Chains A and B, each alone.
Chain A
Amino acid sequence: SYELTQPPSVSVSPGQTARITCSGDALPKQYAYWYQQKPGQAPVLVIYKDSERPSGIPERFSGSSSGTTVTLTISGVQAEDEADYYCQSADSSGTNVVFGGGTKLTVL
C-alpha cells in the first residue's frame, strides 16, 4: 500500500525556521495537504494544494513541492507552534486518502 514518509521529530529554537518533509512516489501527481494537531485537539488544516494557506493561518506557515517531496516550512517558529504535523495526499490512482506518520515539532 502507498505510504507517505515523515521524520518522527523536528526540533527548533524560537524564532528559527522549521522544515518538515513528506515523501511519497505519487506526490508529483497528487496535491499534498498539511494538518497541525495539538494534544487533545482535532487536526487543523494549515496548508492545502501544496502551498495554499487557509484563511486564519499565520503567514509564517508555508508549503512547497519538489518532485516526490513536499515541505512544510514554519518561519519564525513560536512556542505555540509546538504540535504534531501530518501530511495527507492520495495514492497514484487518486482513489485512496493517505496520511503520513506525523512529525512532532518541539520548540526548544
Chain B
Amino acid sequence: QITLKESGPTLVKPTQTLTLTCTFSGFSLSTSGVGVGWIRQPPGKALEWLALIYWDDDKRYSPSLKSRLTITKDTSKNQVVLTMTNMDPVDTATYYCAHRQGDGYNLGYFDYWGQGTLVTVSS
C-alpha cells in the first residue's frame, strides 16, 4: 500500500526559505520508473505543479518557479525534500507530494497523494 505524508512548517515569514519533507512508504525511489512530485493549491484556487524527481535523480521544475525550487531525495530514508526560497504571501497554499506513475521519463500522472500541508506566509 502506497502512502505519502508531507511535513514542515505551517507558518513562514516573507523572504524566508521553505523546506518541506515528503515521507513515503510502499515503494522505493531507487526502482526504475518511479517518481515523486510536488503540487500546491492556494486556498480556493487550482492545482499547480511545482517539481518532479525521478528514480535516477533526474529532476523537472515548473518554469515559472524554477529559480526558487530545489527537489532532492534520500532513498535510504524514503524521503523527498522540496525547498522554495524567497517566500511571499502569494505562496500561501496547501502543498502536496504525490507518487508519479508513468513510462520512463514521460511526466506521467499522480496516482497516490499525501494529505497535504497548509503553509501560510505572513509576517
With known contacts A90-B107, A95-B60, A42–B46 Cβ distance under 8 A: no
> Which of A12-20, A58-66, A68-76, A98-106 forms part of the interface with chain B?
A98-106
Contact between A99 and B46, CB atoms less than 8 A apart: yes
Main secondary structure of the interface of B (DSSP, over half): strand
Q: How far is the CB of A44 from chain B (nearest CB, A)?
A: 8
Contact between B46 and A97, CB atoms less than 8 A apart: no
With known contacts A1-B64, A95-B60, A99-B47, A43–B113 Cβ distance under 8 A: yes
A96 to B96, CA, bound (A): 17
Residues 35-61 of A at the B interface (beta carbon under 8 Å): 35, 37, 42-45, 48, 54
Interface string of B41-62 (1 = CB under 8 A from A): 0000011110010000000101
A71 to B88, CA, bound (A): 36
Contact between B46 and A100, CB atoms less than 8 A apart: yes
Contact between A33 and B113, CB atoms less than 8 A apart: no
Does B114 reach chain A (CB closer than 8 Å)? yes
Our count of residue pairs bridging A and B at CB distance below 8 angstroms stands at 58
Categorize the interface residue count of chain B: 20 to 34
Chain A residue nearest in CB terms to B62: A96
A–B complex contacts, Cβ < 8 Å, 16 sampled: A1-B63, A1-B64, A33-B110, A42-B96, A42-B114, A43-B113, A44-B113, A45-B111, A90-B106, A96-B60, A97-B49, A97-B60, A97-B62, A99-B48, A100-B46, A102-B46
Known interface pairs A45-B109, A54-B111, A88-B109; 8 further A-B residue pairs with C-beta atoms within 8 A, sorted by A's residue number: A35-B47, A44-B113, A95-B60, A97-B37, A97-B60, A99-B48, A100-B46, A101-B46
